[in-house]
Amino acid sequence: MAGASLSTVFVNPPLSLHHSRARAHPKNQWRHAKTTSLSTIRAQSGGRKEDIVIVGAGIAGLATAVSLHRLGLRSLVLEQAESLRTGGTSLTLFKNGWRVLDAIGVGNELRSQFLEIQGMVVNSEDGRELRSFKFKDEDESQEVRAVERRVLLETLANQLPPDSVLFNSKLTNISKSGNGETLLELVDGTQLSAKIVIGCDGIRSPIAKWMGFADPKYVGHCAFRGLGYYPDGQPFDPKVNYIYGRGIRAGCVPVSPTKVYWFVCFNRASPGPKISDPSELKKQAKELVRNWPTNLLNIIDQTPDDTIIRTPLVDRWLWPAISPPASSGRVVLLGDAWHPMTPNLGQGACCALEDAVVLARKLANAVKSRSASVEDALSSYGSERWPRIFPLTIRANLVGSALQWDNPVVCSVRNNVIIPKLVRLGPLLEHTNFDCQPL
Ligand SMILES: Cc1cc2nc3c(=O)[nH]c(=O)nc-3n(C[C@H](O)[C@H](O)[C@H](O)COP(=O)(O)OP(=O)(O)OC[C@H]3O[C@@H](n4cnc5c(N)ncnc54)[C@H](O)[C@@H]3O)c2cc1C
């Protein structure tokens, strides 16, 4: 069906912009939202038919659904969990992330809840300051805030009409049907047929696997992360604080007047077994930095159980001619499902947001022109995004390796020469330049 026009792709004309905006979801429904619509699906014999299905209600999936909604296209989001992710920590978003959040109309709502971070300070493990920067000295337009993942997801979901997200809907099987549509089978046996499938199902994406992508590769370090809570107000200046040791680095960023994000990243030959006991996680994180500045230990102590996790860091390098393209027919990947990258540049979520607006624009243009091909629109998204995300994935990996060095001589050169004398923040953050007009 390559080259099929959208008059054949859409059975019904797309919703008008006015209509889709008018039915945004009432606030704060998502924490309690269980699946109400699966029964509806089951009631329809032969499976449900959809125009656009997005798999995964993470940052990429919800940002794509909101972007499409703003452009007048309805989509259905399938999420394996029973609700939006309510625990978790925070993400540092740079100006490219904020440009996208502004373009989709939620920037100011989020800005009002999270502190603007002025700069960063780098210390050695003995508490010596190696370097400090102010973001706006390097780039007046830079904007850095750490945003709680839960709040970001809820804010995006609140832009969508009711029943846009089906929870408890884990995709287990995907296949092509004879008519060019894609068949999706959920874990409970429910079947859906979709004209367009947008895979936003994260690092272990079953859709990426089906498209022939290799599994993401473990890069040799893991990160503890948490969100310290200070009910009477947190004491930190609005700066990113890094501490670089040998084979271990840690950091913290104030998120809001009462919350502070922290991480400890450490070398480990293999990811090891998953640990979910919060007291064990805290104990292990503190053990790694036990002789480091005490304010870090204090933030770890202040961390509620549901906001501490340990994650093995992985990435996937999308080598040209070796890695499959981002789309295959009318199935396309976004965010971590396509380009898992290590968090060393703070760009995974920012790039997932960028993906969402670029894809939504191209798809909506194809729909509106009615003569353009959806396949071409998806393929053009992949071609436009690849030169952006491939070098970033590699750079993030290399930066992480340099920061995880454990050789004492190399670490001494890094801490006494490279960081104090050679590093320039401006070029280091050039990748945050991304232009994005309102949708
Ligand atoms: C330690 C660490 C720190 C980070 N810090 C930053 C940072 O500071 N700034 C930044 O920009 N990025 C950061 N990132 C990266 C960021 O978290 C990811 O890039 C981002 O979450 C990707 O969003 P996503 O929507 O693609 O995937 P996810 O957030 O993983 O969402 C995927 C969704 O798909 C669902 N799903 C999965 N499989 C299925 C299935 N079979 N059926 C249905 N649903 C499914 C999942 O439940 C989930 O809701 C960090 C990552 C790590 C590991």
The pLDDT of residue 317: 97
Indicate if ligand 1 lies below 6 Å from the C-beta of 432: no
Looking at the chain, the whole-number percentage of residues with pLDDT higher than 90 is: 78
Do 157 and 324 meet the contact criterion of CB atoms below 8 Å apart? no
The pLDDT of residue 178: 83
- Residue carrying the six token digits 């070398």: 267
The DSSP code sequence of 320-351 is TTTSPPSEETTEEE-HHHH----GGGS-HHHH
Q: What is the mean pLDDT of residues 420-433?
A: 87
The stretches of 264-373 forming alpha helices (DSSP H) are 278-288, 294-301, 335-338, 348-369
pLDDT: which is higher, 217 or 425: 217
Which contiguous run of DSSP H or E holds residue 401?
Answer: helix 374-403
Residue 92 structure tokens: 């540092």
pLDDT: which is higher, 27 or 132: 132
The atom of ligand 1 lying closest to the CA of 62 is 25
The pLDDT of residue 97: 98
Query: Beta strand 259-267 with 119-124: parallel, antiparallel or unpaired?
Result: unpaired
Q: What is the mean pLDDT of residues 28-35?
A: 45
The pLDDT of residue 134: 94
120 has a pLDDT exceeding 70: yes
**Length of the chain in residues, anyone?**
439
Cα–Cα distance for residue pair 196/52, rounded to 1 Å = 5
CA of 67 to the centre of ligand 1 (A): 18
Q: Give me the helix-helix angle, 294-301 and 278-288, nearest 10°.
A: 180
Indicate if ligand 1 lies below 6 Å from the C-beta of 347: yes
Indicate if ligand 1 lies below 6 Å from the C-beta of 375: no
End-to-end CA distance of the chain: 29
Cα–Cα distance for residue pair 70/66, rounded to 1 Å = 6
249 C-beta neighbours (distance < 10 Å), count? 23
Longest dimension (CA), the chain: 69
Indicate if ligand 1 lies below 6 Å from the C-beta of 349: yes
15 has a pLDDT exceeding 80: no
The pLDDT of residue 391: 96
The pLDDT of residue 179: 86
Q: Which of 188, 253, 186, 194 is nearest to 225 (CA)?
A: 253
The pLDDT of residue 223: 97
168 C-beta neighbours (distance < 10 Å), count? 18
CA of 248 to the centre of ligand 1 (A): 23
Indicate if ligand 1 lies below 6 Å from the C-beta of 311: yes
The pLDDT of residue 35: 35
Query: What digits encode the pLDDT tens for the residues 157-177?
Result: 999 999 999 999 999 999 999
Query: What digits encode the pLDDT tens for the residues 56-72?
Result: 999 999 999 999 999 99
Cα–Cα distance for residue pair 91/103, rounded to 1 Å = 19
Q: What is the mean pLDDT of residues 301-325?
A: 95
Query: What digits encode the pLDDT tens for the residues 359-415?
Result: 999 999 998 887 789 999 999 999 999 999 999 999 999 999 999 999 999 999 999
Q: Which of 9, 161, 198 is nearest to 72 (CA)?
A: 161
CA distances (Å), origin 195, targets 12, 171, 203, 334, 363: 12, 16, 24, 17, 12
Residue ranges of domains in the chain? 6-86+152-215+317-394, 115-145+219-314+407-432
CA distances (Å), origin 281, targets 276, 284, 306, 307: 7, 5, 11, 11
CA distances (Å), origin 170, targets 83, 202, 288, 303: 12, 13, 36, 30
Q: What is the mean pLDDT of residues 314-330?
A: 96
The atom of ligand 1 lying closest to the CA of 313 is 53
The pLDDT of residue 11: 30
Given ligand 1 and candidates 201, 210, 359, which is best to mutate, with the most ligand atoms within 8 Å of its CB?
201
**CATH code for the part of the protein at 115-145+219-314+407-432:** 3.30.9.30
pLDDT: which is higher, 2 or 81: 81
Cα–Cα distance for residue pair 11/241, rounded to 1 Å = 53
The pLDDT of residue 301: 95
23 has a pLDDT exceeding 60: no
Least confident of 17-21, 309-313, 357-361, 435-439: 17-21
CA of 37 to the centre of ligand 1 (A): 24
Q: What is the mean pLDDT of residues 8-22?
A: 34
Q: What is the mean pLDDT of residues 422-429?
A: 84
The pLDDT of residue 47: 78
Query: Beta strand 327-328 with 331-333: parallel, antiparallel or unpaired?
Result: antiparallel
Average pLDDT taken over every residue of the chain: 89
CA of 420 to the centre of ligand 1 (A): 33
Do 312 and 218 meet the contact criterion of CB atoms below 8 Å apart? yes
24 has a pLDDT exceeding 60: no
- Residue carrying the six token digits 């232009």: 435
Say yes or no: do domains 6-86+152-215+317-394 and 115-145+219-314+407-432 share a fold.
no
Kindly indicate whether the domain formed by 6-86+152-215+317-394 is annotated with CATH number 3.20.20.150: no
Query: Beta strand 259-267 with 217-229: parallel, antiparallel or unpaired?
Result: antiparallel
283 has a pLDDT exceeding 90: yes
The pLDDT of residue 437: 84
Indicate if ligand 1 lies below 6 Å from the C-beta of 343: yes
Q: Which of 331, 375, 384, 317 is nearest to 355 (CA)?
A: 384
Given ligand 1 and candidates 82, 166, 200, 357, which is best to mutate, with the most ligand atoms within 8 Å of its CB?
200
Buried b (16+ CB within 10 A) or exposed e, 145-156: bbbbbbbbbbbb
Indicate if ligand 1 lies below 6 Å from the C-beta of 81: yes
The pLDDT of residue 5: 35
Query: What digits encode the pLDDT tens for the residues 36-50?
Result: 333 334 434 457 899
Which contiguous run of DSSP H or E holds residue 249?
Answer: strand 248-254
Query: Beta strand 239-244 with 119-124: parallel, antiparallel or unpaired?
Result: parallel
Residue closest by Cα to atom 30 of ligand 1:
202
pLDDT: which is higher, 22 or 346: 346
9 has a pLDDT exceeding 80: no
Say which amino acid occupies 150: R
pLDDT: which is higher, 54 or 180: 54
Do 134 and 167 meet the contact criterion of CB atoms below 8 Å apart? no
The pLDDT of residue 156: 98
Q: What is the mean pLDDT of residues 90-116?
A: 97
Indicate if ligand 1 lies below 6 Å from the C-beta of 354: no
- Residue carrying the six token digits 């830079």: 142
The pLDDT of residue 46: 53
- Residue carrying the six token digits 């009002």: 112
Burial class (CB in 10 A: 0-12, 13-18, 19+), 414: buried
